Amino acid sequence: MDQQGQQGLDSPWRSAWRSRGGPAWLIAALLIGFYVDLYWFDHLEPVARALGLRSKWFLYGALYSLGMVGGAVFYLRRHGNSRYHRVRIATNVGVQVLLAWTLPFVMPLLGGTEFYPSYFWPLKYDLLLPDTLWQLPLYLSIYGLVGSLLLSPLLAFFLGKRWYCSWICGCGGLANTFGDPWRHLTSKSTASWRFEKAAIHTVLVAVVFMTAVVVLKGLVGHDHPTFAAFADGTKQVYGFLVGSVLAGVVGTGLYPLLGPRTWCRNFCPMAAILGLVQKLGRFHIRVKPDMCISCGNCSAVCEMGIDVRAYAQSNQSFTRAACVGCGMCAHVCPRGVLRLENRVTVLGDKARQGLVTLDL
């Protein structure tokens, strides 16, 4: 069945674990504890070895994939009537299990390199650093460079940042599966929007600065040991603050309290770049004129904190840098007012025939 729209009502505000009740705080505490242990202790190493895994990171990857598969089953039981969500979630889970876990695990066993082809700079912030590029086989270095600097922005221009954030990315994938029960918790306040703009662009500047400094160190560090030490320190601080604290502890640990896209919305530098490209690109959410009843389902369900209703009720088709194109606003709209599209022309509503969508 490919019936459109939400099938059956959801009741998040009737469940304590989905509406910041005691169980939600407990789940958050467990998640935060898990991430703290993962990043800064080694209790998981022996467990990983006992399971035949090379390191705790593969154990983490296995748990991560399991969380996504489990979350996907629940998500698709609820929203799998929509073909968009079926294809999207299946792709995302497939990428995680095959490209982000199986491939990196198997490749070294076959004499290859441990490599994560579904992650690009600046999300994978060390991908473009000289140490990484020199160590990788040439074809993977080229893949990393082209994928990060050319392919990923280009795809974002044509398809919107959703091609990555809601179809490929592991962070987005976990948010849209395991984290989906909490999507309505993302704040829609003006204050949260101001914070988002400041925070995400700060991280973007930070990652560019860090990368530049480390690359420069690779060029001249030999002659300037003080600068080399500064570059190493910069990378370490970035790795600690952004890579571990914000992406892991805050990003995932606070799912049950702040919604599943805290990292993606406020801190992910890749989302920042793709968002800027998206603003210039072809993706938009089209609003059917004069049909919105201002019910608020679209805004409530937006995991990126966009007040979708504000656009829908004023008949304004729009593109927001934050939008990851999960499609849930359009899915839950009881009047079918919203539609995700990749337009070819900018002539607006008259250009109906010129619209190109993801239709297979």
Partner 1 sequence: MTPPLHFVIVGNGVAGMEAAVALRAREPQAKITVVSEESDHFFSRTALMYVLAGQLRHQDTEPLERDAYARLSLERVRARAVGLDSAGRRLRLSGGQELPYDRLLLACGSRPRPAPWPGAELAGVGHFVTLQDLAWLEAELHGGPSRGGPPPRPDAHLERSAPDSPYQPRPVAARRRGHLARQAVVVGGGLIGIEVVEVMLAAGLRPHFVIREDWFWPMAIDAAEGAWITQRLAGHGVRVHLGRGVAAMEGQDGLVTGLRTDDGALLPADVVVVAIGVVPNTGWLAGAGLDLDPSGGVRVGPDLSTSAPGVFAAGDCAAVPGADGRPRVEQLWYTARDQGRIAARAMLGDPVRYERGLPYNSAKLMDIEYTTVGEVWTGPAPDAAAWEWTLVEEGRVRSSTRICGRGDQVVGFNLLGRRWDHSVLARFIEERRDLSWVVQRLPQAAFDTELVPPLRVPADRLAAARALARPPQG
Query: Closest distance between partner 1 and the C-beta of residue 116, in Å?
Result: 28
Q: Which is nearer to partner 1, 224 or 335 (CB)?
A: 335
Count residues contacting partner 1 (CB under 8 A)? 53
Which of 26, 69, 322 shows the shortest CA–CA distance to 187?
Answer: 322
Cα angle for residues 80, 81, 86 (degrees, 5° grid): 40
Looking at the Cβ atoms of 49 and 352, the one nearer to partner 1 is 352
Residue 335 CB, shortest distance to partner 1, in Å, is: 5
* Spacing of C-alpha 213 from chain mean position: 26
Site residues (CB under 8 A) for partner 1, limited to 306-345: 309, 313, 327, 330-331, 334-336, 339-341
Instruction: Give the Cα separation of 20 and 15 in Å (integer).
Output: 9
- The answer to whether the CB of 275 falls within 8 A of the CB of 130 is no
Cα–Cα separations (whole angstroms), residue 128 to 119, 135, 167, 171: 12, 11, 23, 20
Q: Which is nearer to partner 1, 241 or 358 (CB)?
A: 358
Cis ω for the linkage preceding 334 (within 30 of 0): no
CB closer to partner 1 out of 136 and 291: 291
Residue 274 or 287 having the CB closest to partner 1: 287
Whichever of 56 and 85 has its CB closer to partner 1, that residue is 85
7 lies in the site for partner 1, by CB under 8 A: yes
Residue 56 tokens, joined = 């705790």
Q: Rounded to the nearest whole angstrom, what is the least distance from the CB of residue 234 to partner 1 in the complex?
A: 41
Nearer to partner 1 by C-beta: 265 or 309? 309
Q: Is 34 exposed, middle or buried (0-12, 13-18, 19+ CB in 10 A)?
A: middle
The C-alpha atoms of residue 360 and residue 116 are separated, in whole angstroms, by 28
Residue from 26, 47, 87, 212 touching partner 1 (CB under 8 A): that is: 87
With CB under 8 A as the contact rule, the residue among 35, 84, 125, 163 that binds partner 1 is 84
Residue 117 burial (C-beta neighbours within 10 Å; 0-12, 13-18, 19+): middle
Q: Does 175 bind partner 1 (CB under 8 A)?
A: no
Q: Give yes or no for residue 218 binding partner 1 (CB under 8 A).
A: no
Rg, the chain, Cα only: 21
Interacting residues with partner 1 between 261 and 300 (CB under 8 A): 288-291, 293-297, 299-300
Contact residues: partner 1, CB under 8 A: 1-16, 19-21, 81-84, 87, 288-291, 293-297, 299-300, 309, 313, 327, 330-331, 334-336, 339-341, 349, 352-353, 357-360
